[in-house]
Amino acid sequence: MTTQTTLQQELDQAFANWTKATQQFGNEQYNLVPSEGSWTPGQIVQHLTLANGGFADMLYGETRQTERPADQHIGLLKNIMLNFDSKMEAPDFVRPEIKNYEKEPHLDNIKAINETLTKAIADLDLDATCLGFELPGIGYVTRLEALHFVMLHTIRHTNQLNRAYQQLAN
């Protein structure tokens, strides 16, 4: 099982990479579609902000004692989220609007979400099962699994941001 320190370091690294990937875009590039059918960099960051912010809220919501290994679904989450060849459909509640986004407020949100997650790692029982949301195909997850989801989801979309940057640079 991942220790709190290791989890914190991995999450911090994922958020640092997300920040760096976001900062690389000029203000004009931030709202350009890099390829047909894809989101703009601003939409990708908005999606991550909505999803990761929702998970941050879920960590502080209602929980119950877990009756299985608290890290049981982490391997499955890794297989799903780190398969960069698979395309997924975002649920409506985390689908970004089609509009122009500003980078600076997004960077502020990234920092705020990271601070909330850092506090959760330090203060909460990570083995408890969160009852605020069921992951499709998995069900309720523990706080530990939720934090891994946020980290893996961030890695996935940071990769997407970096690919978008390459496409827009060409």
Give me the pLDDT at residue 1, please.
Answer: 47
C-alpha 103, offset from chain centre: 17
What confidence score (pLDDT) does residue 138 get?
Answer: 94
Instruction: Supply the Cα-derived Rg of the chain in whole angstroms.
Output: 16
> Using an 8 Å Cβ cutoff, are 48 and 153 in contact?
yes
CA-angle at 150, arms to 79 and 18, nearest 5°? 100
In angstroms, what CA-CA distances link 14 with 25, 31, 102, 148, 150? Answer: 18, 23, 21, 11, 9
pTM: predicted TM-score of the whole model, two decimal places: 0.95
Query: What's the confidence (pLDDT) of residue 2?
Result: 54
**Strands of 1-112, DSSP E:** 63-64
Mind listing the pLDDT tens digit of every residue in the chain (170 residues)? 458 899 999 999 999 999 999 999 998 899 999 999 999 999 999 999 999 999 989 999 999 999 999 999 999 999 999 999 888 888 889 999 999 999 999 999 999 999 999 999 999 999 999 999 999 889 999 999 999 999 999 999 999 999 999 999 88
Length of the chain: 170
